[in-house]
Structure 1
């Protein structure tokens, strides 16, 4: 029995069926005998839930045992990296934020750090802007891990956890909206600093969140950690040891759940992370259970970092002083929620010709970046998020390529799934925490 419901097919003169992954569907099914063989080839996905939206898995099954698994990506096909070549360096922030849409602030920060490195202004970023970046990224890490916890629990049958996880995530998104005007895809972290300052209302909300979240984490653990079905579905399931992780380039919580405390915030610090007090949680089993424990522990560590960042916020500018580069960060969130306060618009339109010219040139043309290429890596909720940026000296990127952890980590799925049960494919795939917006950028 074979099926290719989700394949994009075309017939050649030889009658061979090709798929979006390079024309191997015939080869996949040719080794099975539908009459005399116990094996079947089926598609799992792309669908929500189970395969996280637009991920397709081609599974060869013998009964309920997975004999072979293939990950098929490319269905989201956003083309963001190519689009960056046709936009200026400032506009790039509004594109990259939409890749891994569960951790947009990490996409923006990695891009901004790369552009700043090309410009040679890394040391010019203000202390307040750097602290705000850490604050926003750690809030985003908490919200991303909450989505993982909620959706993975739902896929394994713990529906209540879905409700609780998204309840707390809404709190974080409200904080983001107060600061940036948007719940997701903020384009808030810009080359040179951040788009606007953090208002006092947001600080009060963050401190309330820091008081609330430890209690809620205990509720999550009471709901899941001792639950027999949860233990049965996660312990000794989808095991990937540290050797396999290293061979496949797997990073993030999956690598740390196998025992290696590799976290770029510690090993290759950026944004002043070396000055913060926090631990890197690890586990040794390398299974779904270990990845669950690591992510819950990482939420607690992020809460520590958030509290330290809030305490460090000192008055000061949030954008570099060089007006040829600086985004007009004195913008305030207006009634449209998009950073267009009437007071600032009135100023640049009626009182300061220099501000008007600068604003117009920065938005339409952008700034020039010296020729060269750089690589910058940061620790996103899914692992190492790297940016390779190339400039030819113009106002637009020559090339920007992301080393995206969802894409890299997904190649571990066959190693985790083959030899296990088909039900464990769901648990193993979910434990990788793939976000296809980052994978198919």
Structure 2
């Protein structure tokens, strides 16, 4: 037997053990960490389900325990913020609505509020327009939370809840289609007001929804709240206390589930929220279970707000009276189902040269916004959705940047996941409710 054939051959000299390379074996052993040698690095995602689509998680595992976790974003980048710089201020509404595609009304409202603040017309927005904005936002909050409830339950094995959650969401999307003409990506809330009024049949659908939804919420709770597996997968899982939330900038239901009743609708009200009666649900455990309870309670509070908004819908204009700002919206269409009606075309073409010039300039160029910069934030289903808008005095934004809660909240995932089980990464990540369209805008 020779050392050239067997690298494990050792010689003993004065009590020391040497390797075939001449190194001290004890030094080699002491320099090896058997724990680290057991760790592996895996990629979780990007995929559906589990990581909510195009989110990639890089996990360092020791058995089933997560030792390190990193979020990798950017796979859904659309360049929406950059595109805004090449469109006029009103056209921007059609871009921002596509960011967080589960809560498009909030994207539009935050943008419209920022543009209105730059224009100095915040106080000129009509009462009916503000009421419609509140109505639409709270319906959208309900639909967004329903998607969260459905997908999170599916990822934890409660498949039936996936079916029920999307069933009720369809009802809300039908209401949106009746009001805006579209189920998603509406471009409905615009600087100066909203694109069109709420039709009577939409009011009837909303009333029916208000009667239906409390019963369905009770069904959800009967299905989940006492279910042993649901409790095991959510209680004391992915805990993030209020100190951690504050340090990481986490807002929304995740922050409120840790005990802090921070809600911009109460603390920094907009659109007249200060005149509505509603509570801010909180919990104290700061875990997945607490986030579930907070979101279900928020659906109930949104139902209250929707009912109050319906009762306040008094007749009136839905756009500011200033014709230099009010986007031309003639909703009647021609016999071919396209374009403006012939009556409207005849009016601007044959009766008023001023109307024709105004219509042409507004459609092709848009209105000018005084130079300056503002920051406006609204309470989206995921937390503080802020808009930093900058104008150089032209007809297009110089810069629009969103403070997107999905992007900010995702940095809390390592704090929630490290030290826990790999199965709990799914529950913890889902409890943040990230929407990658908003994160990667």
Q: TM-score, normalised by structure 1?
A: 0.90
CA contact (8 A) 2:10 2:20 kept: no
Judged with a 3 Å threshold, the aligned counterparts in structure 2 of structure 1 residues 235 and 7 are, in CA distance, closer, same or farther, namely: farther
CA contact (8 A) 2:74 2:440 kept: yes
CA contact (8 A) 1:67 1:418 kept: yes
Judged with a 3 Å threshold, the aligned counterparts in structure 2 of structure 1 residues 297 and 356 are, in CA distance, closer, same or farther, namely: same
Deviations 1:162-192 (A, max 9, x none): 0000000000000000000000000000000
Query: How far apart are the structure 2 equivalents of 1:347 and 1:19?
Result: 97
Query: How far apart are the structure 2 equivalents of 1:97 and 1:341?
Result: 27
Instruction: Give, in angstroms, the shift of residue 332 of structure 1.
Output: 4.6
Deviations 1:220-252 (A, max 9, x none): 001100001000000000000000000000000
Instruction: Give, in angstroms, the shift of residue 77 of structure 1.
Output: 0.9
Q: How many residues in Structure 1 have an aligned counterpart in Structure 2?
A: 441
What corresponds to 2:116 in structure 1? 116
Instruction: Give, in angstroms, the shift of residue 364 of structure 1.
Output: 1.3
Residue range with higher mean Cα deviation, 17-26 or 83-92 = 17-26
Instruction: Give, in angstroms, the shift of residue 349 of structure 1.
Output: 4.5
Instruction: Give, in angstroms, the shift of residue 350 of structure 1.
Output: 4.8
CA contact (8 A) 2:16 2:24 kept: no
CA contact (8 A) 1:333 1:339 kept: yes
Query: How far apart are the structure 1 equivalents of 2:9 and 2:142?
Result: 41
Query: How far apart are the structure 1 equivalents of 2:20 and 2:173?
Result: 36
What corresponds to 2:425 in structure 1? 425
CA contact (8 A) 2:240 2:416 kept: yes
Which runs of 5 or more structure 1 residues have no equivalent in the other structure?
none
Greater Cα radius of gyration, structure 1 or 2: 2
Q: TM-score, normalised by structure 2?
A: 0.90
Instruction: Give, in angstroms, the shift of residue 363 of structure 1.
Output: 1.8
Instruction: Give, in angstroms, the shift of residue 340 of structure 1.
Output: 4.6
Deviations 1:63-118 (A, max 9, x none): 00000000000001111001111111011000000000000000000000000000
What corresponds to 1:24 in structure 2? 24
CA contact (8 A) 1:374 1:388 kept: yes
Query: How far apart are the structure 2 equivalents of 1:101 and 1:4?
Result: 65
CA contact (8 A) 1:3 1:43 kept: no
Which runs of 5 or more structure 2 residues have no equivalent in the other structure?
none
Query: How far apart are the structure 2 equivalents of 1:74 and 1:22?
Result: 50
Residue range with higher mean Cα deviation, 31-40 or 209-218 = 31-40
Judged with a 3 Å threshold, the aligned counterparts in structure 2 of structure 1 residues 124 and 413 are, in CA distance, closer, same or farther, namely: same
CA contact (8 A) 1:276 1:305 kept: yes
Instruction: Give, in angstroms, the shift of residue 352 of structure 1.
Output: 4.0
Partner of 1:412: helix, strand, or coil?
helix
Instruction: Give, in angstroms, the shift of residue 327 of structure 1.
Output: 1.1
Instruction: Give, in angstroms, the shift of residue 120 of structure 1.
Output: 0.3
Instruction: Give, in angstroms, the shift of residue 346 of structure 1.
Output: 4.9
Judged with a 3 Å threshold, the aligned counterparts in structure 2 of structure 1 residues 86 and 314 are, in CA distance, closer, same or farther, namely: same
Task: Give the CA RMSD over aligned residues.
Answer: 9.3
CA contact (8 A) 1:85 1:399 kept: yes
Query: How far apart are the structure 2 equivalents of 1:140 and 1:261?
Result: 21
Instruction: Give, in angstroms, the shift of residue 342 of structure 1.
Output: 5.6
Query: How far apart are the structure 2 equivalents of 1:327 and 1:58?
Result: 47
Query: How far apart are the structure 2 equivalents of 1:140 and 1:114?
Result: 20
Query: How far apart are the structure 1 equivalents of 2:219 and 2:195?
Result: 36
Residue range with higher mean Cα deviation, 70-79 or 338-347 = 338-347
Instruction: Give, in angstroms, the shift of residue 344 of structure 1.
Output: 3.9
What corresponds to 2:80 in structure 1? 80
Query: How far apart are the structure 2 equivalents of 1:196 and 1:16?
Result: 88
What corresponds to 2:350 in structure 1? 350
CA contact (8 A) 1:319 1:329 kept: no
Instruction: Give, in angstroms, the shift of residue 361 of structure 1.
Output: 1.5
Instruction: Give, in angstroms, the shift of residue 360 of structure 1.
Output: 2.1
CA contact (8 A) 1:2 1:42 kept: no
Instruction: Give, in angstroms, the shift of residue 196 of structure 1.
Output: 0.6
CA contact (8 A) 1:3 1:41 kept: no
Judged with a 3 Å threshold, the aligned counterparts in structure 2 of structure 1 residues 232 and 171 are, in CA distance, closer, same or farther, namely: same
CA contact (8 A) 1:143 1:169 kept: yes
CA contact (8 A) 2:3 2:20 kept: no
Instruction: Give, in angstroms, the shift of residue 52 of structure 1.
Output: 0.4
CA contact (8 A) 2:61 2:68 kept: yes
Judged with a 3 Å threshold, the aligned counterparts in structure 2 of structure 1 residues 212 and 370 are, in CA distance, closer, same or farther, namely: same
